[in-house]
C-alpha cells in the first residue's frame, strides 16, 4: 500500500487518538473530531503500534514515523503507567472516574432503563391514592397486608420483621434481596433485552403500588421516612443494572458485521463493569437500610434531609466525576506540539 493511501485510510484513527490525549491533558476536544472512551484505549493503542510497525517496515516518510512514534509513546505511558499503580489504585480509579464515565458513555441505555423503572413507579404512586382499589389489581391482598404491617406507625422498628439486635442479619438480607433484583435486571438482557425491560417495569410497578397504597393509608412518615435514606443508591443501582442488561440485549439484536457472540463479548466489557458499580451501590444502600432507615430514633425530618442529600450526591457524582484526569508528560508535550 502506498503511503498516501495508508494515511488516507488510518489518519482519522490517529487524529482521534491525538484528540483523546488532548482531552486527557485537560484541554478541549478539537471541533469536528471524535473522542473515544477510555475503555477503548488498549485496543486503540495496539492498533496504533501496528500502524507504526507497518510504517517502519514499508519505509514510509520520517515525518509519518515520527508522528506515530510520539503517539505510541504517549499511549504507552498512559496505558501502562496507570496499570502499575496497584490494585487499590485500580479500584480508586474505577470509583473516581471509570464508573461515571461508563454511565455517561452509555447514557441511552441508562435513559431507557430509568424510564422503564421510574415511570411506572411515579404513575402508580400518584394514581393509587386517588383510586385505592387499583392496588389490589396490581398486588395480592396478602402482600399488601404484609407491607402495611411492616410500616405500621406502632412498630418499634420499620421494615422487615426482625429480632432485637439483628441489624447485621438484616443487612445481609437486604443485600441478597437487592442483588437478586439487580441480577434479574442484568441477566434479562440476554433475552434480547426483553427480560431487562420486564424486570425494570415490574419492579417499578411493585414499588409504585406499595408507595401509593401506604400513602393512601396515611403511613407517610413511616414509609417515606424509611425509604428516603437509601432510595438514591438502591433505585439508581437497579436502573444501572438494567441498563447494563440492555447493552447485552442490543448487542444481540444489532451485532453489525460481527457474530452475535463477538458482539456480546464486546458489549459485556462495559456492561459488567457498570454492574460492578451498581452492585457497590446496592451494598451501600443495604447498609443504610439496615442500620439507619429502619430506626425510629432519628426524626423523620432528618431522614428526609438525609435522603435529599443522597440524591444530590448521586446525581452530582454521575454528572461531574471523571471529567478531568491527570496525565503524563508525553500527553502534555503532545498538546503543546498541537498548539504550536
Give the pLDDT confidence of 5-31 residue by residue, as tens digits. Answer: 999 999 888 888 888 887 776 666 565
Give the up-direction half-sphere exposure of residue 32: CA atoms within 13 A in the CB hemisphere. 1
Which secondary structure element, helix H or strand E, spans residue 42, and what is its range?
A: helix 41-57
HSE value, Cβ hemisphere, 13 Å, CA-based, for 116: 26
**pLDDT value at position 326?**
38
Q: How far apart are CA 44 and CA 253, in angstroms?
A: 25
% of the chain exceeding 90 in pLDDT: 44
User: Nine-digit cell at 66?
Assistant: 515520527
**pTM tops 0.85, yes or no:** no
Residue 153 has phi, psi (to 5 degrees) of -60, -20
Residue 141 CB coordination number (10 Å): 9
Q: Give me the pLDDT at residue 157, please.
A: 62
- Of 132, 85, 102, nearest in space to 318 by CA: 102
285-305: buried (b, 16+ CB within 10 Å) or exposed (e) per residue? bbbbbbebbbbeeeeeeebee
Write out pLDDT tens, residues 179-226: 889 999 999 999 999 999 999 999 999 999 999 999 999 999 889 999
3-class state of residue 311 by DSSP: helix
**Confidence label for 35 from pLDDT (cuts 50, 70 and 90):** low
**What Rg do the C-alpha atoms of the chain give, in angstroms?**
25
Q: What is the pLDDT of residues 294-311, one digit of tens each?
A: 787 889 999 999 999 999
Q: Cell for 6?
A: 495508508
Amino acid at each position: 500500500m502506498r503511503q498516501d493511501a495508508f494515511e488516507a485510510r488510518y489518519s482519522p484513527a490517529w487524529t482521534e487518538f491525538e484528540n483523546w490525549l488532548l482531552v486527557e491533558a485537560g484541554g478541549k476536544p478539537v471541533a469536528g473530531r471524535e473522542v473515544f472512551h477510555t475503555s477503548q484505549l488498549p485496543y486503540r493503542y495496539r492498533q496504533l503500534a501496528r500502524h507504526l510497525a507497518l510504517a517502519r517496515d514499508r519505509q514510509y516518510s520520517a515525518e509519518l514515523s515520527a508522528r506515530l512514534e510520539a503517539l505510541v509513546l504517549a499511549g504507552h505511558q498512559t496505558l501502562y503507567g496507570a496499570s502499575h499503580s496497584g490494585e487499590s489504585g485500580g479500584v480508586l480509579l474505577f470509583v473516581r472516574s471509570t464508573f461515571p464515565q461508563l454511565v455517561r458513555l452509555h447514557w441511552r441505555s441508562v435513559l431507557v432503563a430509568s424510564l422503564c423503572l421510574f415511570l411506572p413507579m411515579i404513575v402508580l404512586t400518584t394514581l393509587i391514592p386517588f383510586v385505592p382499589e387499583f392496588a389490589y389489581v396490581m398486588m395480592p391482598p396478602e402482600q399488601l397486608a404484609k407491607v402495611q404491617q411492616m410500616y405500621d406507625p406502632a412498630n418499634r422498628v420499620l421494615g422487615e420483621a426482625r429480632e432485637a439486635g439483628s441489624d447485621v442479619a438484616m443487612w445481609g438480607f437486604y443485600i441478597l434481596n437487592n442483588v437478586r433484583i439487580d441480577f434479574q435486571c442484568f441477566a434479562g438482557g440476554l433475552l434480547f433485552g426483553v427480560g431487562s425491560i420486564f424486570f425494570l417495569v415490574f419492579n417499578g410497578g411493585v414499588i409504585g403500588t406499595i408507595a401509593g397504597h401506604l400513602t393512601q393509608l396515611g403511613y407517610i412518615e413511616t414509609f417515606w421516612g424509611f425509604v428516603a435514606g437509601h432510595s438514591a443508591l438502591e433505585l439508581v443501582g437497579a436502573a444501572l443494572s438494567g441498563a447494563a442488561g440492555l447493552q447485552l440485549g442490543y448487542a444481540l439484536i444489532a451485532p453489525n458485521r460481527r457474530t452475535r457472540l463477538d458482539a456480546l463479548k464486546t458489549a459485556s466489557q462495559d456492561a459488567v463493569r457498570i454492574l460492578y458499580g451498581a452492585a457497590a451501590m446496592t451494598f451501600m444502600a443495604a447498609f443504610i437500610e439496615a442500620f439507619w432507615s429502619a430506626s425510629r430514633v432519628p426524626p423523620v425530618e432528618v431522614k428526609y434531609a438525609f435522603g435529599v442529600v443522597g440524591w444530590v450526591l448521586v446525581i452530582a457524582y454521575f454528572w461531574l466525576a471523571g471529567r478531568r484526569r491527570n496525565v503524563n508528560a508525553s500527553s502534555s508535550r503532545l498538546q503543546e506540539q498541537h498548539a504550536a
